[in-house]
Structure 1
Amino acid sequence: MIFRKESCPQPAPPQYGAIVPPRDPRDQSQESRDTELICVFMPSGCRMRNMGEWRACRFLLRNGYFIISHNFRTSFIEIDIIAFNNNTMHFIEVKSGYFGFRHPLNTQHAHRRHKTRKAVGAFMDQYVAYLRARGHKVLASEPGNGNTPVSFDLIWVKSDGLEYFQSIF
């Protein structure tokens, strides 16, 4: 049976605030059956782009991080995961796969660091507006107040596990 584009059955969209992992029918592990992680602020779509980002989110949640957003896009860069832990806002780049002779930390060159810092300002402005639109007063001890410490991190997802590098710049 051939469907035309407009008549194709569409899956129901996930609820706002749910992170849905990418589908891999070959993977029958417990990790792939857990289908939702809670997220607060997601201006982009709910579907995660790859299994590496999803595994990184699972790792962060298991270690006490609060996931605020994923795949946050500006006109000049995308931040894979934004999380909050111990009064610090973490902006996390996820790299997955094998890099040969080049370490993933070497991909964070000066131009990318500059663009990431600009994206942090844009995110904080939108996040504060998001909180205020819902009637929440941003307190001095909460994320988005302008005085929150910021950490730029990298998670390297490999086939045998992952490595988490904090405060890379």
Structure 2
Amino acid sequence: MHTKAKGNLAEERGCEYLRKNGFRIIDRNVYNRFGEIDIIAFRDNVIHFVEVKSAMSYEQAVNNITPSKLQKLGRTIQFYLQKKKLNSDYCIDALIVSDEGIEWIENITL
């Protein structure tokens, strides 16, 4: 399976996981000049910007969330919030999708 197809499958599994845990999916694969947001979800009056990482193991996937990736994601989110004129609480989460299962890491920071 190609990398893009694996990524799409991981995101699909991630959306299913989020829905089962009470989230409403607002948007997916949002691109702007700063980067991409994999999943935007909403629960309990908080917008969750979700970075999906997949790999064969949890360690491999989590190591792909680098400080530079988080900085780029932060700029992407700020641009999205301004463009949509949103003034809501939000956080950045990660969904680690591996052969071992799915793990949600809430509120990852820089």
Same topology, TM > 0.5: yes
Residue in structure 1 matching 2:68, options 96, 102, 111: 111
Gap change, CA 1:85 and 1:98, over 3 Å in 2: same
1:165 aligns with 2:105: yes
- Alignment of 1:81 with 2:21, yes or no, is no
1:154 alignment counterpart: 94
Higher relative contact order (CA 8 A, sep 6+): 2
Residue number among 5, 11, 14 corresponding to 1:56 in the alignment: 14
C-alpha RMSD of matched pairs (Å): 1.8
Aligned to 1:92: 50
TM-score normalised by the chain length of structure 1: 0.55
User: 1:150 deviation in Å?
Assistant: 1.6
More helix by proportion, 1 or 2?
A: 2
Counterpart contact for 2:30–2:38, Cα < 8 Å: yes
The aligned residue for residue 127 of structure 1 is 84
Structure 2 residue runs without a partner (length 5+): 1-6
- Relative to total residues, which structure has the larger strand share, 1 or 2? 2
TM-score using structure 2 length: 0.81
Give unpaired runs (5+ residues) of structure 1.
Answer: 1-48, 129-143
Bigger radius of gyration among the two: 1
Aligned partner letter, 1:119 = T
Q: Which of 55, 66, 69 is matched with 2:27 structurally?
A: 69
